[in-house]
Amino acid sequence: MADTSPMDLYESLEAQGGKVRALKSAKAEKAEIDAAVQLLLKLKVDYKQTTGQDYKAGCPPSEDAAVQDNGLAADGADEADTVNPWDVSTTNAKGVDYDKLIVRFGSSKVEKELVDRIERVAGQKPHRFLRRGIFFSHRDMHQVLDAYEKQKSFYLYTGRGPSSEAMHVGHLIPFIFTKWLQDVFDIPLVIQLTDDEKYLWKDLSLDECHRFAEENAKDIIACGFDVNKTFIFSDLDYMGSSPDFYRNVVKVQKHVTFNQVKGIFGFTDSDCIGKISFPAIQAAPSFSNSFPQIFKGRKDVQCLIPCAIDQDPYFRMTRDVAPRIGYPKPALLHSTFFPALQGAQTKMSASDATSSIFLTDTPKQIKNKVNKHAFSGGKDTVEEHRKYGGNADVDVSFMYLTFFLDDDAQLEKIRQDYTSGALLTGELKKILIETLQPMIAEHQERRKQVTEETVKQFMTPRPLNFNF
Ligand code: TRP
């Protein structure tokens, strides 16, 4: 094998990957599939030995040693969880294996030490999302804190793809956490609404996407952001009106090849060119001079992006490009996914009404959905449950409480009682229902207060309270 070129090996791997997929989809004999997978694995080892890189489907060997993982598990040869901006799934009822994901994506774990450090620097008890490992992974958080301690502040960037009017509780996770960061660090925040992205990916008109962006902005504003420190923008509006933003988009576009985005995002030759160039648009807000009205032309203000881990491919690309175009790399804090009611094998999805608790649900709808659909780790009968106890690790109601019930001692007591069998599934669900109902009612109340005028204020490019 030593004299086989990387390109030859790559092509054999592509062909063999295709063969494995074809055998699997044709439901071929197990022995035949196994043999094909064995050969594939052998080729992968050869490839790694020859190129020093991991083989990635659709990503030919490059000079660039940076190994990218598109999270697509495209060769189908291992049981890796699928995690990418369009698809999250696993076969494990406990959900995605997040420790493995950290290794695959090359990020760092949010260790206790980092949580303690955030507590010291911010001077506040860490948010429950940090205490409970919901924001579990990061890139460069220590550098951000080092700089902050030396009076070098930073700004926050997060976003949302407005694919419908209906937002669910899972969508709130990054925003709840971002609001906390904004409050404790007292820093500006930009929120990108990618109505352009949703137009490119979904069967929706431009007008629909733009309208969803404005509707979603109301739910985001209802999370309590400070209007003096927050700029929310629709790509469709802001791109056309901000030459500095567009300049950064073009800079990124010049420094990423088609091959790279194919490798990172799994694009194919039949994807429209809008999709292929979109990642540059999600990258641009990571650079402070995309917002001259806020940062007065400075290009060196550090950015921190709180987001769900499925958005990481965009920011791996951004971090790869940043130094080459003279900008600091954005730091990241990644969250786990908010599980679907049916179980942690996938995340909540707005397009599946029974999988989600929507921000517009009535108390009665919340009660019915939780009682009917929330996957239970309890036993089939009360007798068995009392005897053997329930499994909180796979129980969706318990998982939701870890997101929303702030009291650590109460949560721990619920876990112990459920595990011992003292607490029944119906009782656990009742606690969840009584946690969600007021939380959502309060959200609805705050959203009602958000007028068109307020939305306009948040979405107008203007200076923010920024004096670093
Ligand atoms: N692509 C994201 C989505 O579909 C939206 C988004 C844009 C985003 N910029 C972001 C999310 C920054 C997190 C952080 O939801």
Distance from Cα 307 to the centre of ligand 1, integer Å? 7
Query: Is residue 311 within 6 Å of ligand 1 at its C-beta?
Result: yes
Say which residue, 424 or 36, is predicted with more confidence: 424
Cα 249 to Cα 252: distance, rounded to the nearest angstrom: 5
Nearest CA owner, ligand 1 atom 3: 161
Cα 430 to Cα 418: distance, rounded to the nearest angstrom: 13
Q: Outline where DSSP puts E strands in 199-330.
A: 230-234, 302-308
Query: Is residue 194 within 6 Å of ligand 1 at its C-beta?
Result: yes
Query: Is residue 263 within 6 Å of ligand 1 at its C-beta?
Result: no
On whether the CB atoms of residues 177 and 270 are closer than 8 A, the answer is no
- pLDDT band for 269, please (50, 70, 90 cuts): very high
- pLDDT band for 64, please (50, 70, 90 cuts): very low
**Range 3-19 average pLDDT:** 76
On whether the CB atoms of residues 209 and 196 are closer than 8 A, the answer is yes
- pLDDT band for 51, please (50, 70, 90 cuts): confident
Query: Is residue 178 within 6 Å of ligand 1 at its C-beta?
Result: no
What are the Cα distances from residue 100, in Å, to 163, 222, 314, 331? Answer: 30, 35, 19, 20
Q: Which of 73-87, 168-182, 446-460 has the lowest mean pLDDT?
A: 73-87
- pLDDT band for 71, please (50, 70, 90 cuts): low
Mutate to test the pocket of ligand 1, among 198, 282, 312, 335 (most ligand atoms within 8 A of CB): 282
Structure confidence at residue 349 (pLDDT): 85
Nearest CA owner, ligand 1 atom 6: 159
Distance from Cα 197 to the centre of ligand 1, integer Å? 9
Distance from Cα 352 to the centre of ligand 1, integer Å? 20
Query: Is residue 160 within 6 Å of ligand 1 at its C-beta?
Result: yes
- pLDDT band for 177, please (50, 70, 90 cuts): very high
What are the Cα distances from residue 5, in Å, to 17, 53, 60? Answer: 18, 13, 12
Helix (H, G, I), strand (E, B) or coil at 226: coil
Model pLDDT for residues 410-454, shown as the tens digit of each residue: 999 999 999 999 999 999 999 999 999 999 999 999 999 999 999
Distance from Cα 7 to the centre of ligand 1, integer Å? 35
What are the Cα distances from residue 391, in Å, to 194, 376, 406, 408? Answer: 39, 8, 21, 19
User: Looking at the DSSP assignment, which residues form a beta bridge with residue 138?
Assistant: 108, 333
Query: Is residue 218 within 6 Å of ligand 1 at its C-beta?
Result: no
- pLDDT band for 466, please (50, 70, 90 cuts): confident
Say which residue, 48 or 385, is predicted with more confidence: 385
Distance from Cα 429 to the centre of ligand 1, integer Å? 31
Q: Which of 31-45, 208-222, 338-352 has the lowest mean pLDDT?
A: 31-45
Query: Is residue 158 within 6 Å of ligand 1 at its C-beta?
Result: yes
Please give the biggest Cα pair distance in the chain: 70
